[in-house]
């Protein structure tokens, strides 16, 4: 395994940040790009047009490539399936990323990730194999969340909501960092900078993942028709260049095993301690109330719990513009779902909302524009379902603390 010499001055990549690593019969040319730069787009297209490469790899997963190349990709989403599978947070994260990219595109007059899109499309037009080497965004997001504390996850959720509502221009400092960094890192903002665990998952871990995918793509690659090793161009964000080259040179593990490790998401604890403690406190409080104070006290505790959680959950749903039946569903579900680890009141009310007011094709197509304005969130049925989920869940959470404190006061009073 050797580092090949840099390209000669007249080559398309001569003035672009790049590294070349040769191992196992493949010469990997790693081209570092800026995700918001027209010169990066031109460099990628020139490199592919030069005929110097036998295959092309890009820092994308299948979902992100589809969103870049298919304007109707979002409209094909089954929102009810997203809710049922508990992927609402992931959908919201992708929507926040799309909103961030939209603001960049409008401000800089260049589509973020245009160089990655150009790499994939130009390679296909020339009949070159295309390898998508990045990890799916949902997996990265899940692995990042499981490394964070409860407070860290709360900050991330708040950041996602803020990102979906934000419409201000992206600051010059942030744009400059993006030119040398990574789109996911920039979209997470200060969280990736201040939290080593999040940085590890969003940046460093993906360096290793993409290096492994490159090695996997290189296995069995045919020698170049021009003679010598197979020549693969890898188009990646400049922030990944050094780490990716290091892993590509040094990693020796079996690619399949490494990918399985980096794609694994730990299952939730089989013992949901918080739910068990909350359920024990609530049901135990009811029982203690009936035992010490009789039917009047026990019934009063149940009514207070139902009203505190149910009313606040219903208010959250109502603020989100929920259908009357969605509000009723929130009221019924909110006292019960905190006692069950697999249910959420926001999911219940959002499912009812999405069923009664099913989003149309036009809602999906207008989503990215509508979420740029406060009014658009209540106008667009897709956005309103998301609001329903978050605000109902928030109302229920406040109700749990309110009802719990009232119950505690009654029991110790």
DSSP 69-106: H-TTTGGG--HHHHHHTT-HHHHHHHHHHHHHHHHHHH
Q: Which domain holds residue 357?
A: 273-412
For residue 219, what is the DSSP state?
T
CA–CA gap between residue 248 and residue 130 (Å, rounded): 19
User: Which H or E run contains 21?
Assistant: strand 18-23
Of 291, 288, 303, 276, nearest to 403 (Cα)?
303
Domain shared by 283 and 259, yes or no: no
Give the pTM. 0.71
Q: Is residue 202 part of a domain?
A: yes
Rg of the chain's alpha carbons, rounded to an integer?
A: 26
Domain shared by 316 and 217, yes or no: no
Domain shared by 196 and 280, yes or no: no
pLDDT of 75 > 60? The answer is: yes
Domain shared by 180 and 279, yes or no: no
Q: 286-318: per-residue pLDDT in tens? A: 999 898 888 988 899 999 999 999 999 999 999
Domain shared by 259 and 286, yes or no: no
Domain shared by 24 and 118, yes or no: yes
Q: Where is the domain boundary, 263, 286, 301? A: 263
Domain shared by 283 and 371, yes or no: yes
Q: 111-123: per-residue pLDDT in tens? A: 778 889 999 999 9
Domain shared by 207 and 62, yes or no: yes
Q: Where is the domain boundary, 232, 263, 294? A: 263
Domain shared by 20 and 167, yes or no: yes
Q: 46-56: per-residue pLDDT in tens? A: 999 999 999 99
Domain shared by 28 and 90, yes or no: yes
Q: Is residue 268 part of a domain?
A: no
Apex CA 165: angle with CA 163 and CA 169, to 5°?
Answer: 70
Q: 212-240: per-residue pLDDT in tens? A: 999 999 988 888 888 889 999 999 988 88
Q: Are 4 and 27 in contact (CB under 8 A)?
A: yes
Domain shared by 186 and 330, yes or no: no
Domain shared by 30 and 132, yes or no: yes
Q: Where is the domain boundary, 239, 263, 287? A: 263
Other Cβ atoms less than 10 A from the Cβ of 335: the count is: 23
Q: Count the helix, strand and coil residues of the chain and give each as a percent rounded to the nearest 5.
A: 65, 10, 25
Strands annotated E in 188-295: 230-237
Number of domains in the chain: 2
Q: Are 191 and 156 in contact (CB under 8 A)?
A: yes
Q: Is residue 22 part of a domain?
A: yes
What are the C-alpha distances in Å from 412 to residues 148, 292, 296, 309? 35, 11, 16, 21
pLDDT of 160 > 50? The answer is: yes
For residues 100-110, average pLDDT:
67
């Amino acid at each position: 395994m050797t580092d090949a010499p840099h390209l000669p001055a007249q080559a398309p990549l001569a003035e672009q940040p790049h590294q070349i690593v040769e191992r196992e019969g493949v010469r990997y040319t790693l081209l570092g790009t800026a995700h918001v730069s027209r010169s990066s787009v031109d460099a990628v297209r020139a490199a592919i047009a030069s005929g110097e490469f036998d295959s092309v790899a890009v820092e994308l997963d299948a979902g992100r490539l589809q969103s870049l190349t298919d304007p109707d990709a979002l409209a094909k989403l089954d929102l009810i399936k997203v809710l049922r599978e508990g992927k609402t947070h992931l959908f919201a994260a992708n929507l926040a990323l799309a909103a961030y990219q939209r603001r960049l595109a409008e401000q800089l007059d260049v589509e973020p990730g245009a160089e990655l899109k150009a790499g994939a499309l130009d390679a296909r037009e020339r009949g070159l194999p295309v390898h998508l080497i990045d990890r799916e965004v949902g997996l990265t997001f899940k692995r990042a969340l499981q490394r964070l504390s409860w407070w860290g996850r709360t900050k991330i959720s708040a950041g996602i909501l803020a990102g979906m509502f934000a419409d201000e221009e992206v600051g010059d400092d942030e744009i400059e960092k993006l030119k040398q960094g990574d789109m996911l890192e920039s979209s997470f903002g200060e969280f990736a900078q201040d939290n080593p665990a999040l940085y590890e998952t969003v940046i460093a871990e993906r360096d290793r993942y993409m290096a492994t995918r490159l090695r996997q793509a290189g296995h069995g690659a045919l020698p170049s028709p021009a003679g010598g090793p197979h020549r693969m161009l890898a188009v990646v964000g400049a922030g990944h260049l050094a780490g990716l080259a290091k892993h590509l040179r040094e990693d020796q593990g079996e690619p399949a095993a490494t990918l399985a490790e980096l794609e694994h998401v730990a299952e939730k604890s089989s013992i949901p301690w918080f739910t068990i403690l909350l359920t024990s406190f609530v049901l135990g409080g009811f029982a203690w109330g009936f035992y010490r104070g009789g039917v009047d006290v026990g019934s009063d505790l149940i009514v207070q719990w139902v009203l505190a959680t149910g009313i606040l959950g219903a208010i959250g749903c109502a603020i989100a513009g929920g259908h009357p039946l969605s509000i009723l569903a929130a009221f019924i579900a909110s006292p019960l779902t905190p006692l069950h680890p697999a249910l959420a009141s926001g999911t219940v009310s959002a499912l009812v909302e999405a069923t009664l007011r099913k989003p149309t094709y036009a809602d999906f197509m207008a989503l990215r524009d509508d979420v740029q304005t406060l009014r658009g969130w209540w106008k667009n049925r897709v956005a309103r379902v998301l609001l329903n989920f978050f605000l109902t869940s928030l109302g229920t959470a406040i109700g749990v603390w309110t009802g719990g404190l009232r119950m505690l006061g009654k029991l110790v009073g």
